[in-house]
Amino acid sequence: MKVATYNINGINARLPVLLRWLAEESPDVVCLQELKSPQERFPLKEISDLGYHAIWHGQKSWNGVAVLSKYKIEEVTRVLPGDPEDNQSRYLEVIIQNVVICCIYLPNGNPLPGAKYEYKLNWIERLTKRSKTLLQMNAPAILIGDFNIIPEEIDTYKPEKYIDDALFTKEVKEAFSLLLKDGWQDAIRTLFPDKEVYTFWDYFRQAYGRNAGLRIDHILLSPSIQDRLTQGGIDRDVRGWEKSSDHAPTWIRLNNNTNG
């Protein structure tokens, strides 16, 4: 089963890119972020025509998350527990082929300091709490999406530029490393221990051409699914396509559960 995450940055503006990538790479499951589309403008027909089921949680102007799958999708929740006031579409938890899949669009948090950064820290706290519940259930689970966190220096082309950035503060790096300490496995870093593997290149200053990238899209595996990881990567070339998102699709492959 090939599972991918892709911050699409406007699903309607990027639809030709999305459809081309789906047709070429044929992922089984795709978690999308930043739909930038109200619920009723989700391009369901074009996506179903390629053989995908879809569940999405849109929002006018900003945010928005979706899960596409060739297998049946069972929705668990479209709300990250812990804040009844939070009405931003940033979380979608589903079950596909007995795997819990949490599609995440973690807040960016800039500028720093301020309400947006506080919201980010609060959101991370809620995610951590939810992730602990999943670990306690011993469920095969995946936390996947745009985390807006640069975990380590190797994950940015220029660490010193990001010292005061909400993607790279001590607090958010620590929160990420605590998830790993809890037992979650950073799948892409595990597969590429010493390599620069960026998932995002800014639109500014020809960042992609200069490979001025960041690794901020992540796939975290719960202990009970880690031995199924066989392969992974970043479809870097997609970032160079016409009218592309500023992120590139990031994916892993899991073998079939043979003891189930």
Partner DNA sequence: ATGTCTGGTCCCACCAGA
Interacting residues toward DNA by CB under 7 A: 9-13, 36-38, 60-62, 107-108, 110, 116, 203-205, 243
Active-site entry in 146, 165, 217, 246: 146
Rg (CA), the chain: 17
Active site residue 146: yes
Active-site entry in 6, 52, 91, 105: 105
Taking the complex as a whole, the smallest distance from the CB of residue 48 to DNA amounts, in Å, to: 20
SS3 state of residue 105? strand
Q: In terms of CB distance, is 58 or 140 closer to DNA?
A: 58
Q: In terms of CB distance, is 158 or 170 closer to DNA?
A: 158
DSSP conformation letters of 118-152: HHHHHHHHHHHHHHHHHHHTT--EEEEEE-----S
- Where are any strands of DSSP class E within 50-170? 53-57, 65-69, 74-77, 91-96, 99-105, 141-146
Taking the complex as a whole, the smallest distance from the CB of residue 133 to DNA amounts, in Å, to: 26
- The CA–CA distances, whole Å, from 246 to 46, 144, 151, 238 equal 22, 18, 19, 10
Taking the complex as a whole, the smallest distance from the CB of residue 161 to DNA amounts, in Å, to: 8
Angle, vertex CA 26, rays to CA 75 and CA 207, nearest 5: 95
Q: In terms of CB distance, is 132 or 243 closer to DNA?
A: 243
Active site residue 227: no
User: Is the distance from CB of 216 to CB of 146 less than 8 angstroms?
Assistant: yes
Taking the complex as a whole, the smallest distance from the CB of residue 20 to DNA amounts, in Å, to: 15
Q: At what angle do helices 115-136 and 170-182 cross, to 10 degrees?
A: 10
Q: In terms of CB distance, is 92 or 207 closer to DNA?
A: 207
Residues marked active site are found at 105, 146
